[in-house]
Amino acid sequence: MFPSFLLPQASRLTCGGTSLAVALLITATPLSPTQAQTGQGVIRISGSSTVFPITQEAIRAFRKTAPGRNVRFELQETGTSAGFRDFCSGKVPIANASRPISSKELKACEAKGVKFIELPIAFDALTVAVHPKNTWASQITVKELNTLWNRQATGRVKRWKQVNSAWPDRPIKLCGAGSDSGTFDYFNKAITGDAENSRSDYTASEDDNVLVRCVANDPNALGYFGFDYYLANQNKLRSLAIVGRKGATRPSVEAVQKERYTPLSRPLFIYINNANMLSRPEVQKFVTFFVRRGPQIVKAADFIPLPDSTYLLVESKLYRHVLGTSFGGDLPIGLTIGQALDRSFDQLKQPRPR
């Protein structure tokens, strides 16, 4: 049974109407040598660099409340895959993720007896960006991105003209997510058809700030990273419109929420270790605060919030203590945001055991 502070206003919701490594240590009091070594009393969070700013904002807001004033956090920006390795080995109670958990990671969690709650918290628009001095490219097709980024392009497709004959015969510098990043998996699955089908000769990093600098410092560069990092650096970058099923569309809050930005829009998640959720009051209080204040936190972090009604469903999923993933280890590409959210709450529609 959850303590009273976990009882959300959404607890009476029914689901029939669902339409749906860099570390930051934030602490109020100094850690003792024993605590610093063992992590006792610290909420450790690792994973996606894309989700990092959202969780960072949640921590800042939580620390302003009475329950959060003396809670210590260690927030690491390691990439989704590395975060799941920490999470499934029991090293961290919370993982940030820019994609759903994979079948391999599910098996790793099962092997260690780690049960979890999967909570969608925001949307992202993976942004393809160039230097402001790039005067030739205003949009790019999925086919052109595939030509540029698939494994066969390694060492072969090295100039802008090879991607589009109307573009100049200039070298192209590529900047993209490292293989431990959920952004790497999602981008490749969406563009090349396989999460591992990527060229290898590019500047790679799990830190989106590195990728921003990579593009901002070279007029011949092209890179991809989370929407928040683009928004924070618009004076140094220019986004390209993606030509998808619904025409050429630039990334924006409206384009994602109206399901026009395809196929590079995606839901973002946090994963909560069930044992820690039940046994550690500070984890319970932080996660409950995060979900209840979701719209404000996500907006403050310059991300794309879920609909308000959806945060009530997230809260209901937390309150009802629904374990496991709705995605079965699959990386869903091509779903509309509505379909992805509906799938996120499939477990809520299942009858609860009596």
pLDDT in tens, 128-187: 999 999 999 999 999 999 999 999 999 999 999 999 999 999 999 999 999 999 999 999
Per-residue model confidence (pLDDT) at position 6: 38
List the one residue out of 95, 160, 151, 98 whose CA is nearest residue 126.
98
The tens digit of pLDDT for each residue in 308-323 reads 888 888 888 898 888 9
pLDDT higher than 50, residue 40: no
298 HSE (CA, 13 A, CB side): 25
Element (H, E) at 26: strand 22-26
pTM above 0.85, yes or no: no
Average pLDDT of every residue of the chain:
86
Tell me the percentage of the chain whose pLDDT exceeds 70: 84
Q: Cα separation of 79 and 24, whole Å?
A: 14
How many C-beta atoms lie closer than 10 Å to residue 114's C-beta? 20
The tens digit of pLDDT for each residue in 225-243 reads 999 999 999 999 999 999 9
Q: Cα separation of 203 and 210, whole Å?
A: 9
How many C-beta atoms lie closer than 10 Å to residue 157's C-beta? 18
The whole-number average pLDDT for the span 246-263 is: 90
pLDDT higher than 80, residue 124: yes
297-317 burial, b if ≥16 CB within 10 A, otherwise e? bbeebbbbbbeeebbbbbbbb
Locus of tokens 């066969």: 152
Beta bridge partners of 125: 265
pLDDT higher than 90, residue 31: no
Radius of gyration of the chain (CA): 20
- Encoded amino acid at 207, one letter: D
Q: Cα separation of 105 and 182, whole Å?
A: 13
pLDDT higher than 50, residue 100: yes
Per-residue model confidence (pLDDT) at position 187: 95
Per-residue model confidence (pLDDT) at position 333: 73
Tell me the percentage of the chain whose pLDDT exceeds 90: 71
Q: What is the largest CA-CA distance in the chain?
A: 67
- Encoded amino acid at 142, one letter: V
pLDDT band at 33 (very low <50, low <70, confident <90, very high): very low
Please work out, in degrees rounded to the nearest 5, the angle formed at the alpha carbon of residue 50 by the alpha carbons of 49 and 53: 85
46: which 2 tokens? 């690792």
Residue 173, SS3?
A: strand
List the one residue out of 329, 318, 307, 192 whose CA is nearest residue 253.
307
